[in-house]
Amino acid sequence: MTNLAIIYYSSTGTVDSMARRCAAAGEKHGADVRLRQVEELAPPEAIESNERWQEHAEETADEPTATPDDIVWADAVLLGSPTRYGNVASQLKQYLDTLGPQWQQGQLADKAYAGFTSTMTAHGGQESTLLALYNTIYHFGGVIVPPGYTDQIKFNDGNPYGASHVTGADNDEPLGEDQLTALDHLTERVLKVAAALS
């Protein structure tokens, strides 16, 4: 059985929905799955200023948060972040930045990694966010598993770097069939590569 860790940050719930779809796909393919959101760093007043952010924080308050052990345990890792000015959200970056001891011991190398992201606008920094995320994985010695154009769905969703979604100007566009299928494919592909590595 392949151990799959899905480690992500979500403020208003879009990346959370993407992560949960990946978890369901992982379980469908027989993986042992850990779904973990990283700790929130934003001050309460910032969270309270956005109704969706506040709702999501309350809905996930009792769920386990990511620890270094989750990534050490994993054979395959999916990392999810909304785009922040074309970059990784600080909450996920802070989690990754705490993994120095595990990196020094070689515990993060030779695993299969891939990423997913969301933006409010088309071309809103999705590819640069995924590329920025993968910079960390290079230093880990991880094996980056991009979806490329390895399935017909990639010609529909158009992102060879990972999986992504555009939420729209009102930040309320639900995941469509193309995005859900792309997330399924990304999960299946990272599990397949992880199994080959092991």
Query: Residue 38 — very low, low, confident or very high, per pLDDT cuts 50/70/90?
Result: very high
Q: Mean per-residue pLDDT for 106-129?
A: 96
Beta-carbon contacts of residue 40 (< 8 Å; ≥ 6 apart): 47, 57, 91
CATH number where 192 lies: 3.40.50.360
Taking residue 86's Cβ as centre, other Cβ atoms within 10 Å add up to 14
Residue 170: pLDDT band (50, 70, 90) is: confident
Contact 193, 145 (CB under 8 A): yes
Report whether pLDDT(69) > 90.
yes
Coil, strand or helix at 21? helix
pLDDT in tens, 87-101: 999 999 999 999 999
Domain count, the chain: 1
Tokens of 17: 């929905």
Collapsed DSSP state (helix, strand, coil) of residue 163:
strand
Look at residue 162 in the predicted model and tell me its pLDDT.
Answer: 97
Per the structure, the complete domain to which residue 101 belongs is given by: 3-197
Answer for the pair 159, 119: CB distance below 8 angstroms, yes or no: no
The chain-wide mean pLDDT, for the chain, equals 96
Residue (of 114, 89, 85, 94) closest to 194 by Cα position = 114
Percent of the chain at pLDDT > 70 equals: 100
Residue 171 has pLDDT above 90, yes or no: no
**Taking residues 106-119, what's their average pLDDT?**
98
Q: Enter the pTM of the model.
A: 0.97
Q: Tell me the pLDDT band of 172, cut-offs 50, 70 and 90.
A: confident
What's the pLDDT at 70? 98
